[in-house]
Amino acid sequence: MAPSEPVSPTDEGSGASAVWLHFFCGHPQFLRLWSAHTATAFGQAITTVALPLTAITVLHASPFEMGLLSTLTLLPQLLLGLFVGVWLDRVSRRRALIAANVLRAAVLVAIPTLAALHLLYTGPLLAAAFALGVFILVADVADLSMLPDLVEGEGLVRANSATVFSLSLANSTGPSVAGALAQGIGAPFALTVNGFLALVAAAFGWSVQEPPRPARPDAAAGTALRAVRAEVAEGVRELFRTRTVRALAGSATIGAFAGSLQAPLLVLYFVRSLHLSSLLVGVAITASGAASVLGALLGPRVTARLGLGPTYVLGQAAVCVGGFTIAAIGGPGLTAVLLVALGQLMVGLGTPLYAIQQRAIRQALTPGALMGRVQASWRFFVYGAQAIGAILGGALATAVGLRTAIAVSASLMLTAVCYTLASPLRRLATIPCPAVQHD
């Protein structure tokens, strides 16, 4: 593993750019992995807009088909996530990362090719959405599992800050780029840009020197169903074995459920309840994205001053306050616009603050041989909570109204904050020692 040094407030004060440059120069293998992650993040941000636009503009998809398209992109997380974790603990994660990106590029090029030949129909597009979901699942879990092999100790906070920064920047700028590309060359052909970025990610993944992992005594168990199930269970048990990671999993699952209740309702709430114009809705969403970029950049400095656990709590609390602020808006007007901006800024700042900490803590406390299974188990529970929340959010808003549904979401986020405060996380200052974390 590459050596890493703790980040101190004085380091940050000496110049943020110099600190980041020193970190990347000291971890060249992570720099290559981060470059692959960045290319993937920007490509995914483009696909998030270009794929549904393709369904709308080329296939004239119905609302049901649009919902099915969105569901199929997430379904692999629930159906295959745990098994992908088992597989990635058996094979080279670097090779899996490369293969997933190359196959993703092939699918992304196939869609506009079929469209150009007038052979693109709903069935092939839905199949492509599912395939893209599978490949991005493999790439993401491989990426997260490789990172602690390249950076260790307190350096995990800065490494995860860099990855969250890339994700935040991509999510705040990618949709606009995708919209411009779709307008200029057509939605299907905008996907070719992601295809190119997937190949860039594969190339950077190829350049990473993956550290050797100890041979697993059970590696010869093969793919028998019983052996696979035992390995899946081992990964889930590891996720809940330590007090700290168990607290992270619980609070993050509650928070993910709360956030997914609210997310599909916000635009509808802004337009129908607050009567904001499309321009102001766009500004509100952009404000949240810009704040998330700032939160990712500030993450190491805040962590150095407060500690990992308090920073995690601060991030959750900021998102909670943002939700309550938006729900408390009385009606249209300048005050409503200002409160929407404030609420979105709080959500944007808070999200990376807790995301960075939970990634770093989870990676530090998970044995390398179980990293793939634990990362996949985490995604299974968190993404599962998001899928359930997204379904229930619409039903809840129909039953009690948009404002009340958003207030319920914020209340559930407050429950996640209280859960965290009652756990060992609130006192966690630095990366903990795995040896003292087990019950």
Residues 202 and 257 reside in one and the same domain: no
Whether 97 maps to a domain, the answer reads yes
Whether 220 maps to a domain, the answer reads no
DSSP element (H, E) containing 414? helix 402-421
Give the pLDDT score at 5. 39
Q: How many CB atoms lie within 10 A of CB 48?
A: 18
Q: Which two tokens stand for residue 43?
A: 């490509």
Whether 8 maps to a domain, the answer reads no
Which DSSP string corresponds to 92-114?
-HHHHHHHHHHHHHHHHHHHHHH
Which DSSP string corresponds to 349-397?
HHHHHHHHHHHHHHHHHS-GGGHHHHHHHHHHHHHHHHHHHHHHHHHHH
Domain count of the fold of the chain: 2
Give the pLDDT score at 215. 59
- Measured in degrees and rounded to the nearest 5, phi and psi for residue 242 equal -95, 145
429-438: per-residue pLDDT in tens?
A: 887 665 444 4
Give CA–CA dist 385/317, Å, rounded.
19
Highest-pLDDT range among 106-115, 277-286, 303-312, 379-388: 106-115
Whether 359 maps to a domain, the answer reads yes
Q: How far is CA 89 from CA 190, 214, 216, 382, 398, in A?
A: 34, 11, 9, 20, 44
Residues 310 and 363 reside in one and the same domain: yes
Give CA–CA dist 36/23, Å, rounded.
17
In this prediction, residues 338-342 reach a mean pLDDT of 87
51-65: per-residue pLDDT in tens?
A: 888 888 888 877 677
Q: How many CB atoms lie within 10 A of CB 154?
A: 21
In this prediction, residues 11-28 reach a mean pLDDT of 70
pTM check: above 0.85:
no
360-382: per-residue pLDDT in tens?
A: 888 888 887 888 888 888 888 88
Residues 93 and 44 reside in one and the same domain: yes
Q: Give, as one character, the DSSP assignment of residue 331.
A: S
Q: How many CB atoms lie within 10 A of CB 185?
A: 13
- pLDDT category of residue 266 using cuts at 50, 70 and 90: confident
Task: Give the CA dihedral 418, 423, 428, 431, nearest 10 degrees.
Answer: -120
Residues 201 and 252 reside in one and the same domain: no
- Which amino acid appears at position 309 of this protein? G
Give CA–CA dist 338/272, Å, rounded.
17
Give the pLDDT score at 174. 79
- Whether residue 68 contacts residue 126, with contact meaning beta carbons closer than 8 Å, is answered with yes
The CATH number assigned to the domain holding 166 equals 1.20.1250.20
DSSP element (H, E) containing 185? helix 155-185
Strand partners, 357: none
Residues 69 and 145 reside in one and the same domain: yes
Residue with tokens 């404000």: 287
Residues 206 and 263 reside in one and the same domain: no
Task: Give the CA dihedral 352, 358, 363, 369, nearest 10 degrees.
Answer: -120
Whether 217 maps to a domain, the answer reads no
Q: Which two tokens stand for residue 322?
A: 């943002």
Residues 406 and 348 reside in one and the same domain: yes
Residues 137 and 254 reside in one and the same domain: no
Residues 200 and 242 reside in one and the same domain: no
CA atoms within 13 A on the CB side of 74: 17
**Backbone Cα Rg of the chain:** 21
232-259: per-residue pLDDT in tens?
A: 888 888 888 888 888 888 999 999 888 8
What secondary structure, in 3-state letters, does 129-182 show?
A: HHHHHHHHHHHHHHHHHHHHHHCCCCHHHHHHHHHHHHHHHHHHHHHHHHHHHH
Give CA–CA dist 347/330, Å, rounded.
19
User: Which residue from 373, 298, 384 is spatially nearest to 144, judged by alpha carbons?
Assistant: 373
**Mean pLDDT over each residue of the chain, to the nearest integer:** 83
Residues 170 and 272 reside in one and the same domain: no
Give the pLDDT score at 172. 81
Residues 162 and 276 reside in one and the same domain: no
- Whether residue 361 contacts residue 311, with contact meaning beta carbons closer than 8 Å, is answered with no
In this prediction, residues 72-100 reach a mean pLDDT of 87
Please give the residue range of the domain that contains residue 413.
226-439
Contacts of 254 (CB under 8 A, 6+ apart): 385, 412, 413, 415, 416, 419
Give CA–CA dist 131/136, Å, rounded.
9
- pLDDT category of residue 6 using cuts at 50, 70 and 90: very low
